[in-house]
């Protein structure tokens, strides 16, 4: 089976506060564990959209690790290069949400199995035939070992004629913004598409305006910047154009993973060589459906569900 998309990075379980506005530092109720990790949510969504794909990462030899791998395999992700370590536990993220839309995390990643990704796992035969490698800033931020693995994967894919998509996915809890800018530069200068949120674009570009930030990100060399704007839809920037694409109205249950699922829809649309406006419309629908169920991967839609939404839901963009 030839893989079209591969992602590399952290595999973890997410344990969430049951209700909003509950700080992590006080006694209360949590729900989970849910299979998670931004690049894992992305690749699971790609698989559910019917695209052959695989993942490179590490879990512990424990129940959390088995939960993650079984979930990815059930949805169709190739897990050949997910290794299991007996002397490290699977990564965990505790998360709480607040009424203003903000989140707070406590991570156990850098010294967990999630952080044990190295260049030896980056197999050139596995990667040399893929069309897209998708990377996340969170993966670059875990530790130097993971970072080097990401850079090596980019080298292999680019030399073989493949393309790179990059979600900055900034996690200041893992690494400071100045360091994140530094380690992201090699990816920004190698990738074809960048997929930030507005705040991420501004932080990464060092500007106060999201549109200016996207224009600045294009200067690194990407062909496309797809700005995720949540319920406001998305803006797509190229050297020549700015395209505004409206969102699909849904009832939000859990926003976790919506951006990662948008990424999946966008990359799948690019693989199909659609016009950028159609790509963004499809990605907006994938991201919208992702928020309709509780849990990071639970809302990741099937291709049929997305096509039905695009067909039947009102969309002001046409």
CB 283 within 8 A of CB 22: no
pTM across the whole model:
0.91
Q: In the predicted model, is pLDDT for residue 287 greater than 80?
A: yes
pLDDT of residue 64 exceeding 90, the answer is yes
Q: Which domains does the chain have, with CATH numbers?
A: 5-312 (3.40.1190.20)
Q: What are 265-282's pLDDT values in tens digits?
A: 999 999 999 999 999 999
- Is residue 268 within 8 A of residue 282, CB to CB? The reply is yes
Rounded mean pLDDT of the chain?
A: 90
Task: Supply φ then ψ for residue 137, to 5 degrees.
Answer: -60, -30
pLDDT above 90 (res 164): yes
pLDDT digits 0-9 by tens, 291-311: 998 888 888 999 999 999 888
pLDDT of the residue at 190: 94
Position 315 pLDDT exceeds 60: no
Residue 26's pLDDT is: 87
User: pLDDT value at position 104?
Assistant: 84
Stretch 141-147: mean pLDDT: 88
Mean pLDDT in residue range 106-113: 80
Q: How confident is the model at residue 187 (pLDDT cuts 50, 70, 90)?
A: very high
Q: For residue 147, what pLDDT is reported?
A: 92
- Asked if residue 23 has pLDDT above 50, the reply is yes
CB atoms within 10 A of CB 258: 24
Percent helix, strand, coil in the chain (nearest 5)? Answer: 40, 25, 35
Average pLDDT over residues 140-146: 88
What percent of the chain is modeled with pLDDT above 90? 63
What sign does the CA torsion over 202, 207, 211, 214 have?
negative
The sheet carrying 132-136 orders its strands as: 77-85, 53-60, 5-8, 132-136, 163-167, 193-194, 224-228, 234-237, 242-245
How many CB atoms within 10 Å of residue 150?
Answer: 28
For residue 316, what pLDDT is reported?
38
- Tell me: pLDDT of 173 over 70: no
Two tokens, residue 14: 């997410």
Contact (CB, 8 A) for 289 and 250: yes
Indicate if the pLDDT at residue 169 is higher than 70.
yes
Residue 90 burial (C-beta neighbours within 10 Å; 0-12, 13-18, 19+):
buried
| Residue 318 pLDDT exceeds 50 | no
């Amino acid at each position: 089976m030839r893989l079209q998309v591969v992602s590399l990075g952290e595999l973890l379980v997410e344990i969430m506060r049951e209700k909003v506005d509950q700080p992590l530092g006080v006694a209360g109720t949590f729900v989970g564990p849910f299979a998670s990790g931004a690049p894992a949510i992305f690749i699971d969504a790609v698989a559910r959209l019917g695209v052959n794909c695989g993942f490179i990462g590490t879990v512990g030899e424990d129940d959390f690790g088995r939960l993650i791998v079984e979930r990815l395999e059930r949805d169709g992700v190739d897990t050949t290069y997910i290794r299991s370590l007996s002397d490290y536990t699977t990564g965990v993220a505790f998360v709480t949400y607040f009424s203003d839309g903000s989140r707070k995390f406590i991570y156990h990643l850098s010294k967990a199995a999630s952080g044990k990704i190295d260049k030896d796992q980056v197999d050139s035969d596995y990667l040399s035939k893929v069309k897209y490698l998708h990377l996340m800033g969170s993966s670059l931020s875990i530790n130097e070992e993971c970072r080097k693995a990401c850079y090596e994967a980019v080298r292999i894919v680019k030399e073989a004629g493949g393309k790179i998509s990059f979600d900055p996915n900034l996690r200041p809890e893992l690494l400071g913004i100045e360091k994140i800018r530094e380690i992201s530069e090699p990816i920004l200068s190698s990738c074809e598409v960048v997929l930030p949120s507005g705040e991420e674009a501004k932080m990464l570009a060092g500007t106060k305006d999201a549109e200016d930030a996207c224009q600045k990100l294009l200067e690194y060399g990407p062909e496309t910047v797809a700005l995720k704007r949540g319920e406001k839809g998305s803006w797509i920037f190229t050297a020549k154009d700015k395209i505004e694409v409206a969102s699909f109205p849904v009832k939000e249950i859990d926003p976790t993973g919506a951006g990662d699922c948008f990424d999946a829809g966008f990359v799948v649309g690019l693989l199909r060589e659609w016009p950028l406006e159609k790509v963004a419309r499809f990605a907006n629908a994938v991201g919208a459906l992702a928020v309709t169920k509780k849990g990071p991967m639970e809302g990741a839609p099937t291709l049929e569900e997305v096509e039905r939404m695009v067909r039947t839901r009102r969309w002001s963009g046409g």
